[in-house]
Structure 1
């Protein structure tokens, strides 16, 4: 075994940080999908859209929101359905 083959604690710490950075988007989206209701801020971050775009989606009825006090809440299930509407089916090939 050569000195270059040894792992240091610092090497493992660096690997852990890199791994968590790679997994963060996956775990964030799973956490959002487990929530039943989402606040506007969470929806904007999840969809990567502006407040104006979210307002437009709400006004046009593309996303249904419930308002409690001054806060809008969106159903995670509705958002998931809306996202899945955009998926295109693969074309069928003729034999």
Structure 2
């Protein structure tokens, strides 16, 4: 069994390498588009009020899926409703 000595410089190099790897992981955001949106997200995308989102849902123009007490909306449903795609 061999014994290796780790110096302060070795630890500093390891720390810097680890920090750089973490920064790369944070910066590398894959597709930020969400598949499911909450009411606030829909309001921000369409620039409409909560009541308008509710009216679209009740009239059947915008399909929602209720999970617990939260209505969730598919981004693709919103895109097809207005005939466009969001980036």
Tell me the TM-score range normalised by the shorter chain.
0.5 to 0.7
1:55-74 correspondence runs (5 A):
55-74=54-73
RMSD: 1.6
Count, aligned residues: 54
Deviating above 6 A after TM superposition, structure 1's stretches of 4 or more consecutive aligned residues are none
2:16 matched to which residue of 1?
Answer: none
**Structure 1 residue 83: deviation in Å?**
1.0
1:27 matched to which residue of 2?
Answer: none
2:39 matched to which residue of 1?
Answer: 40
Task: Show structure 1 runs of 5+ residues with no match.
Answer: 1-29, 86-95
Deviation by residue 1:12-61 (Cα, 9 ceiling, x = unmatched): xxxxxxxxxxxxxxxxxx84xx2110001100111010011000000000
Provide the C-alpha distance between the structure 1 equivalents of 2:69 and 2:47, rounded to a whole number of angstroms.
22
Provide the C-alpha distance between the structure 2 equivalents of 1:75 and 1:36, rounded to a whole number of angstroms.
6
Provide the C-alpha distance between the structure 2 equivalents of 1:36 and 1:79, rounded to a whole number of angstroms.
11
More helix, by proportion: 1
Provide the C-alpha distance between the structure 2 equivalents of 1:61 and 1:78, rounded to a whole number of angstroms.
11
